[in-house]
Structure 1
Amino acid sequence: MIFTAFIFGLLSSFHCIGMCGPIAVMLPLDHHNAKKKAIQLITYHLGRLTTYTFMGIVFGLFGRGLLVAGLQQNLSIIIGILMIVVILIPEKKLAGYNLSRPVFSFVGKIKSKLGKQFQNKSYSSIFTIGILNGMLPCGMVYVGLFGALAMQSVSWGAVYMLAFGLGTLPLMSAVVYLKEFISVSFRNKIQKIIPYVGVCIGILFILRGLGLGIPYISPSSVSLFVQEIPHCR
């Protein structure tokens, strides 16, 4: 499942360059010093990965609570269905329901802080830009968080989101160096693949929850989730 997070992050980055690409392009990098520019870009990515990993911890912790409640199999099925629904429903249609209205003010504050950080070329500012960038609403990140929730473990939730974030690094780095070579038509072709991958990942979570006895894909309900049992002394 962790590998699917990386692949989904990799493909999702074609969507991300449309949303977060302008932020990466506008980063206050030193374009006259290649080494410093690379370090600054890594610093930015570390900020994003920090946010994604923290989110994974939070959702993994919540999922752990559901595991203790004995809802692990049902949760995996529900998460798979939600992944497919979020992928298939166009973002514009979702926005029409104003589902994110309660966090509009929060997002506004993030954008305001982002604007201030762009005026400073220090590493701390670039790291902060990465952290704030990771907090911006994104349908692809939401799908990743569903996966972290289904991990039902703090550590695995963090690893799942870290893998998702690592998957976004290649293209989000390329957009800084090769922005003129990534055509809109090429990006659109890749974006058409994203829904299929997202649906496949959702199906995997559903199969995982069904416990059909298929090794690695849908293990039996007994071995679906391995829990640590304290030894009797």
Structure 2
Amino acid sequence: MELALIISAIGLGFASGFHCIGMCGPIALSMGLTKKQATNYYFQNLTYQFGRIFTYSLLGTLLGIVGQGFEMAGFQQYLTIAVGILLILMAIFSFGGNDFASKIPFLSKLLLQVKMNLGKLLQKADYRSRFTTGILNGFLPCGMVYMALTASLAAGGIWQGASFMALFGLGTLPFMFAVVLLGNLMTTAFRIKILKFVPVLMIVLGGLFILRGLEIGIPYISPKKEALKIIHNNSTEHQEGNHATCH
């Protein structure tokens, strides 16, 4: 996986963390985890978080299949540039601290319904319920997740799309883990101030995708297509060599 994609995935996830606190934080806080549960408290928190990441990876896999189709058709470069432009447009609509998805009426209603239906599941305290809660949480309508999924289209293949979304999920992990750990110590005013910078980072990441698609020869950021082929071929030969050695 290219460095530009790794940086984009983790950066997008890290920036989304502040947004996730507002959108998904209340769900995490509703799980009733307390520090009195000691080790169980941390493991249940992580179980919930990895449920979210599992969903993101699954969605990334599905988008990766579509992206691989574009690559096989020879349209990967154009797709990458289009994704970069789309990310920038999404970021522009996110200025003001609002999730652009919340501005779409049917998505806003769906978000409310899903949160209400999660209520029953939140009453259970076993690990299976925590993981399931995380899985369902990952399907919540969220503009930041949609941005990441759009970017995963241009990752270049199935496992690349899954890896991109897994890294995105790991990027959100620090803030989402902390919101359960610290509760409401992070004030709304502080979160709103931070959210104002999120669209700026989205524009930067969109620019990275456009650079990657232009293939202007910047190592690791915008390598030429020929260089990518050489790296891919070397990796394939190395794997085949290891396979032959095992036999």
Asked if TM exceeds 0.5, the reply is yes
Residues 99 and 210 of structure 1, relative CA distance in 2, 3 Å threshold: farther
The structure that is helix-richer by fraction is: 2
Partner residue in 2 for 1:74: 78
Among candidates 184, 191, 202, match of residue 187 of structure 1:
191
- 2:182, 2:114 → 1: CA distance? 27
Among candidates 124, 128, 142, match of residue 124 of structure 1:
128
Q: CA deviation at 1:69?
A: 0.8
Question: Which amino acid in 1 is paired with 2:71?
Answer: L
Helix, strand or coil for the counterpart of 1:137? Answer: coil
Is 1:211 the equivalent of 2:210? no
Residues 95 and 24 of structure 1, relative CA distance in 2, 3 Å threshold: closer
Q: Is the Cα contact below 8 Å between 1:52 and 1:134 reproduced in 2?
A: yes
Question: Which amino acid in 2 is paired with 1:156?
Answer: Q
Partner residue in 1 for 2:240: none
Q: CA deviation at 1:9?
A: 0.7
- 1:159, 1:111 → 2: CA distance? 27
Is 1:44 the equivalent of 2:48? yes
Task: Determine what percentage of the aligned residue pairs are the same residue.
Answer: 43
Partner residue in 1 for 2:172: 168
Residues 35 and 158 of structure 1, relative CA distance in 2, 3 Å threshold: same
Paired residues for 1:1-233 under 5 Å: 1-90=5-94, 91=98, 95-96=102-103, 98=105, 100=107, 110-224=114-228
Q: CA deviation at 1:173?
A: 1.1
Q: Is the Cα contact below 8 Å between 2:47 and 2:131 reproduced in 1?
A: yes
Residues 16 and 200 of structure 1, relative CA distance in 2, 3 Å threshold: same
Q: CA deviation at 1:202?
A: 0.4
User: How does the TM-score come out when normalised to structure 1?
Assistant: 0.88
- 2:86, 2:118 → 1: CA distance? 31
Helix, strand or coil for the counterpart of 2:219? Answer: coil
Q: CA deviation at 1:184?
A: 1.9
Q: Is the Cα contact below 8 Å between 1:28 and 1:120 reproduced in 2?
A: no
Residue-by-residue CA offset, 1:90-144 (whole Å, 9 max, x unaligned): 356665554749xx66x57644541221121111111110000000011110111
Name whichever of 29-38 and 43-52 sits farther off.
29-38
- 1:98, 1:197 → 2: CA distance? 26
- 2:103, 2:197 → 1: CA distance? 24
Question: Which amino acid in 1 is paired with 2:51?
Answer: G
Q: Is the Cα contact below 8 Å between 1:210 and 1:221 reproduced in 2?
A: no
Q: Structure 1, unaligned stretches of length 5 or more?
A: none
User: How does the TM-score come out when normalised to structure 2?
Assistant: 0.84
Helix, strand or coil for the counterpart of 1:46? Answer: helix
Residue-by-residue CA offset, 1:53-79 (whole Å, 9 max, x unaligned): 101111111100111111000000000
Q: CA deviation at 1:193?
A: 1.6
